[in-house]
Structure 1
Amino acid sequence: MASYHRVLQVLGRSVNQKSVECDYDIHPWDILINGERWAGKVRLVGFVDAFFVICYSGDSRFEHGIVVYKDDDAIRTTLLGAEVKAEDIGLDAINEDKTKAPEDAKPPRYFRFESDKGGLDYRITSLGHPIGLKTEYARSSLRRYDIKLRKGRDRVMKKRIRRGVTQHDLFDLMHDALRLGVISHAELIGTIVGKTIGGSALEDVAGKYVDALAGAKGSKNLSLSGERV
């Protein structure tokens, strides 16, 4: 069997990409996947839009693994393309409002992240599927995943794991755009700030925040003051 690095490469991913948020070995007793505990070594590799949980042996021999999607647009697109209804796999929208007319309803959001207050665990519910050395998967492989994950052994690890398994908020996305070089400073101000919070008291704050990030662009050790563990 190939290494898990090869499996990630087939899926267009690498632990060396800028979009990697965390890349840690997880003790098997620190993670439950749909109530099951995997035997063997477990690796958690988190990206901006998804994260992978991989079981491996030896140095990096791939045994089995899953991808879990964090981006709700990707989740909706995947379900639509596979012609799978969320309710058929037990995936519930977390923002459903039955009091609103269909034309006023917001797009459904399925990704759920919970942090036990004062506790030791994160709980994630989302759409995913098993992975392997292929790029196409049967629609029947799509399923809901409920993951219970220990937060981490130290403060740095907690921050990295949290960023790896949760969706990014507005300021996280601003940081991502500059860090990954997706759009320029001017484009970011014109689109995110102008359209999302333009004209509000947050505009100056956001502008200064982006200026600070742009000045530090290229550093691999940028930290966000709003990060939580």
Structure 2
Amino acid sequence: MASYHRVLQVFGRSTDEKSVECDYDIHPWDILINGERWAGKIRLIGFVDVFFVICYSGVSRFEHGILIHKDDEAIRNTLTAAGISDADKEIGLKVVNKEKAKLQDGAEPKKYFQFEKERDGLDYRITSLGHPIGLKTTYPKSSLQKYEIKVRKGKDQMMKRRIRRGVTQHDLFDMMHDAIRLGVITHAELIGTVLGRTVGGSMLEDMTGKYLDALGGGKGSKNQALSADRI
């Protein structure tokens, strides 16, 4: 069997990408996949929009693994492409914003991704859409399923933070950081786009201003000022 790095390449991913949020070995006793504990070495590799749970042997020999979607738009598009109109009935994946999604005016798109942190506990619980992975580039509709992943937070603060970023959806602050870090948009475009959608004097505007101030090296930040060039 090929290296798990080769499997990641099939999905256009690499552990060398800027978009990698976490890349850690997880002890088999520290993770459950749909209530099951995998035997062997487990690698958790998280990106901005998806994360992979991979079982491997030796240095990097791929045994089996799964891809979990974090982005609700990607989940909706995947369900539509697979002809799944009722995810709850067909694969047990529930809509987490059912009431808001039902509203006629200003309805929110359906959201399926769910992240829960156990109060005073050691675990994160993620429920989302996913499928097994391998060297294939296409997968049958029947491979799509609901996954519930339960994982320990980590051994130290850095690991906890990276694992959380790897398995959760990114909020506005995270997305602003991602946009510049990954070179999705320019610094100037970020200012125009985000602040252009803001009502004057709102908390979002204040937060955005402080964030951009920090990025520009203000208030003693160690960051270098960013130009309008893509990075």
TM-score by shorter chain over 0.5: yes
- In the TM superposition, residue 169 of structure 1 has moved relative to its aligned partner by 0.4
Letter in 1 for 2:74: A
Q: Is 2:19–2:48's contact at 8 Å kept on the other side of the alignment?
A: yes
Letter in 1 for 2:150: K
Instruction: Identify unmatched segments of 5+ residues in structure 1.
Output: 219-229
Once residues 80 and 31 of structure 2 are traced to their aligned partners in structure 1, the CA distance between those partners, rounded to angstroms, is 30
| Structure 1 residue corresponding to 2:181, chosen from 179, 182, 189 | 179
Letter in 1 for 2:17: Q
Letter in 2 for 1:147: I
**How high is the TM-score relative to the length of structure 2?**
0.89
CA-atom RMSD in angstroms: 1.7
Residue 227 of structure 1 aligns with which residue? none
Instruction: Identify unmatched segments of 5+ residues in structure 2.
Output: 218-222, 226-231
Moved over 3 A (4+): 98-104
Once residues 35 and 126 of structure 2 are traced to their aligned partners in structure 1, the CA distance between those partners, rounded to angstroms, is 12
Letter in 1 for 2:52: F
1:20-169 matches, cutoff 5 A: 20-85=20-85, 86-87=87-88, 88-97=90-99, 100-102=102-104, 104-169=106-171
- In the TM superposition, residue 98 of structure 1 has moved relative to its aligned partner by 7.4
Letter in 2 for 1:122: Y
Once residues 122 and 138 of structure 1 are traced to their aligned partners in structure 2, the CA distance between those partners, rounded to angstroms, is 29
- In the TM superposition, residue 101 of structure 1 has moved relative to its aligned partner by 4.2
Q: Is 1:174–1:210's contact at 8 Å kept on the other side of the alignment?
A: no
Residue 191 of structure 2 aligns with which residue? 189
Letter in 2 for 1:60: S
When the two structures are aligned, how many residues end up with a matched partner? Answer: 217
Once residues 18 and 158 of structure 2 are traced to their aligned partners in structure 1, the CA distance between those partners, rounded to angstroms, is 18
Q: Is 2:100–2:108's contact at 8 Å kept on the other side of the alignment?
A: no
